[in-house]
Amino acid sequence: MIRKIILPVRGDGKGNNVFAHAAALAHRFDAQVVVTHCRPRPADMLPFGVPIPGILKDQLVRQAVELADQEEGVLKTEFIQLAEHLGLKVLDKPNGSGACASWIEESGRQVDVIKHHGRLADLIAVAQPDVDRNLGANTLKSALFHTGRPVLMCPPTNTPPKILGEKLTIAWNGSTEAARAVALTIGIIERAQEVTLLSAGTEIHGASSSDLESYLATRGITAKIERFQAKMKIGEELLARTKACGADLMIMGAYGDSHERETVFGGNTQVIVDKAEIPVILVH
């Protein structure tokens, strides 16, 4: 069951969309959305490798602190307004009274902030990286490879979902990553009204989609299996079939091959990351 969703933000303009996706799940599970803002350290805002006289350095540090204070103030105000718009109570700590949101400010590198808070979360919500794999790529990578937790990748949209997880697909190939994805999202799967298991028919890793269907049945989950022979890249086929099912969410194991190999050669996970138009929960 989801109780705590971490949402790392850094003022890149993508936070509102991700917040809306996280809020949809928070309402579904009476969960807390913890927005963690990574505040840059003054030293990180100074020119790298350029010697600066002491007096000038002190002045630049003060200006950097003032700039960080201004950014934090703006983002926190936006957070409170958006939380109210999304129907989330703003609390310092959850009190068991329903979906809520809270704000945490932490200085340092975002990868360290994600490690700190993400490892004790039920889900980490991040923006889908840009098509050039620049903005947002490091945040997704940090969440996937440094926390061990499920990561909800949220695509850009003009109409963020108000309901998430009613109909879902599970990309299944029997791999360790796929098995972890099911185990770590079982609370979401149990609450879904419709579950479809997508298999390319090459379950060479062990457990088959029929085995998964039987396992889910022991938990009271009725799932249907859709096997296919891929006419395109498997990642593209998974997205197409998820859309055809009318699903609002896909769950899958991520980067069975190395991240570097998939990024360069276009593995199944990287195809999903690059082309998904619906929210996807990724687990490594």
- Per-residue confidence at 107, pLDDT binned at 50, 70, 90? confident
Residue 78 has pLDDT above 70, yes or no: yes
Q: Say how far apart CA 178 and CA 167 lie, in whole Å.
A: 18
| Cβ burial 41-51 (10 Å sphere, 16+ → b, else e) | ebeeeeeeeee
- Is pTM beyond 0.85? Reply is yes
| Cβ burial 178-213 (10 Å sphere, 16+ → b, else e) | bbbbbebbbebbebbeebbbbbbeebebebbbeebb
Residue 265 has pLDDT above 50, yes or no: no
**3-state SS assignment for residue 38:** strand
Q: Say how far apart CA 40 and CA 100 lie, in whole Å.
A: 26
Of 126, 174, 137, whose CA–CA distance to 279 is shortest?
Answer: 126
The 8-class DSSP code of residue 43 comes to G
Residue 70 has pLDDT above 80, yes or no: no
Residue 34 has pLDDT above 50, yes or no: yes
Contact of 125 with 22, CB cutoff 8 Å: yes
CA R_g for the chain: 20
Sequence-ordered list of residues with C-beta below 8 angstroms from that of 244, at least 6 positions apart, any chain: none
Average pLDDT, the chain: 86
Q: Say how far apart CA 6 and CA 10 lie, in whole Å.
A: 13
The 8-class DSSP code of residue 204 comes to T
Residue 133 has pLDDT above 80, yes or no: no
Higher pLDDT, 5 or 41: 5
Strand-strand pairing, 151-154 and 280-283: antiparallel
